[in-house]
Chains A and B, each alone.
Chain A
Amino acid sequence: MRKTYRYMVMAAASLCLMSCKIYDDKEYVQEPGYIVAQDTYRAYVNELFMVAELADFFSGYQELREDREAAEAFAESYFGISLDWDSCLFYEYADIPGHGSISLEDDGTFSVDMYRHSYYLDGGVRNGIYSVTDDGRAFRITLRYEDGEGSVPTDTDVLTAGATVRCEDGWIVMDECSIACPFQAYSCSISSVSGKPARRRSVSVSDTAYQASEGCLHYVYSEPDGFTDEFDVEFSDDSVSIVRGGTTVRCLPFDRIYDRSVDYIIT
């Protein structure tokens, strides 16, 4: 009988061990600055690089545009894609799928439409178009809004953006950058850090160019109730670092696909 009791106790103990409480430590958001930086990079910062790229391509194209064969070869080697160029590449207008459309204006500037930043007025739609001026050394980019009929509704979030960008040696270098998101729910401003321009490889040399490989951007974030956050975002090829005062949080590089993964911190 004692043997039976011993077996019963052993069985009960082993059953308890097998079905212990198990738990997960869940930390949804460890570094909110990373999410803010990732989302604004995808929505606003990357566009400035792409606008500069289109302007760089189109100004190079202007010198070749009379020679159709050379022009198409240049376009294919720049973007690394083969397209029906007859339907998207013209003397004073080009629409490159995945990159935006660009027009040459009468005054020699470019207008780039990324098909975003439109908002609805009482009378219609106002589109945000990037104006690009080539001063010989760099492109000056400004987001301006077309005139539209009607007034802007008071609850509309309107982005302002501008940058000075150089394209050289396969790099797109953002010497100056100023983006402001004075939105209803929050206010965010992004600016360049002098001495550390954000730069990324041009699409003409890299298939996967998306995140900047070097440089720094400064973020100031605030909410209507007075909460503020300020940090720097430092880029490298294999990581993005959020720097606040003395502390640096090193995170996974940005992904162009929508990704709110929890495990982005590299420890």
Chain B
Amino acid sequence: MGRFGLVLYVLMLLPLAVNAADVAGRQEFVLKHHEFQVSTGIVPGRYSFGYDHKSPFDHSSFPGIYESSRYYEREYVSGVWSLGYTYNFTKVLAIQTNVFYESGWIDRFSREGDVKVAESLDSYLSAMASFKVSWYNRPAVRLYSYLGLGLSYKYGYNDPVNGLGQGTRIHDIVAAFQFTPLGVQFGRRLFGFAEIGIGHYFSGAAAGIGYRF
């Protein structure tokens, strides 16, 4: 699924890039001050923050093993999703702000009757501001790097075995950072972009689309 989407995304970018390059020769770089973006982590697309799913079973004892054998689990991740706004001060310097969300959860079922008996969730809603430098600017292609700091609201719970909904709700504020050494934007007003970086926003690669005016 993911790979198919990636291929589709690249195919979609190509005509945009071709179109942009075609026009590029005929125009100077024009600075647009405002950009809106929506993006998602694509590689690996998850686990930028760690997930804290604790197993309720004691696998070091035989009774704990037998208890564990009466249940099975399914683990899910939402991926990381981001909405951002960037203000370009100059051709080179910008401030990017974004809000992003990711979560991971486990549903635990009892084998008898396939009934869901417990849930474990870790979710992070974060806001970040990044100092962004665009060090290569052409009308249709820009290359950039950014460094960001932010805060994340962590919400989660670990239900005990057979205690659906009874896990203590945990609320916490944690720090978030992001270092993206390389990002590329293709397009003029409507653009696509892809980045590689490491941090709480994403570790790996992210991609998205944006609109500048």
Contact = CB atoms under 8 A, between A and B. Distances in A.
A28 B68 contact: yes
Interface of B is mostly: mixed
B4 interface: yes
B69 A21 contact: no
Contact of A7 (B8, B63, B65, B190): B190
A36 B65 CA distance: 9
B174 interface: no
B65 A26 contact: no
A51 B39 CA distance: 65
B115 interface: no
Given A21-B77, A22-B76, A23-B77, A10 B8 contact: yes
Most buried by A among B5, B57, B59, B76: B5
Contacts of B61: 185-186
A26 B68 contact: no
A64 B74 CA distance: 63
A15 B5 contact: yes
Interface string B99-124: 00000001000000000000000000
A88 interface: no
Interface stretch (A65-73, A90-98, A221-229): A221-229
B2 interface: yes
B40 interface: yes
Contacts of A260: 59
Given A27-B73, A186-B63, A4 B190 contact: yes
Interface string B21-55: 00000000000000000111110011000000001
Interface of A is mostly: mixed
B79 interface: yes
A229 B66 contact: yes
B68 A19 contact: no
Given A18-B6, A185-B62, A12 B209 contact: yes
Contacts of A4: 189-190
A36 B40 CA distance: 45
A70 to B, nearest CB: 47
Contacts of B79: 19-22
A22 B16 CA distance: 29
B12 A11 contact: yes
Interface of B: 1-2, 4-6, 8-9, 12, 15-16, 38-42, 45-46, 55, 57, 59, 61-63, 65-66, 68-69, 71-81, 106, 189-190, 192, 207-209
**Closest 6 pairs (CB-CB, A-B):** A17-B5, A18-B5, A19-B79, A19-B40, A29-B69, A14-B8
Interface of A: 4, 7-8, 10-32, 35-36, 39, 185-186, 188, 221, 223, 227, 229, 260
25 contacts: A4-B190, A11-B9, A11-B12, A13-B8, A15-B9, A18-B2, A18-B9, A18-B207, A19-B2, A19-B40, A19-B45, A20-B5, A21-B78, A22-B46, A22-B77, A24-B75, A26-B74, A28-B68, A28-B72, A29-B68, A30-B69, A32-B66, A36-B65, A188-B62, A223-B66
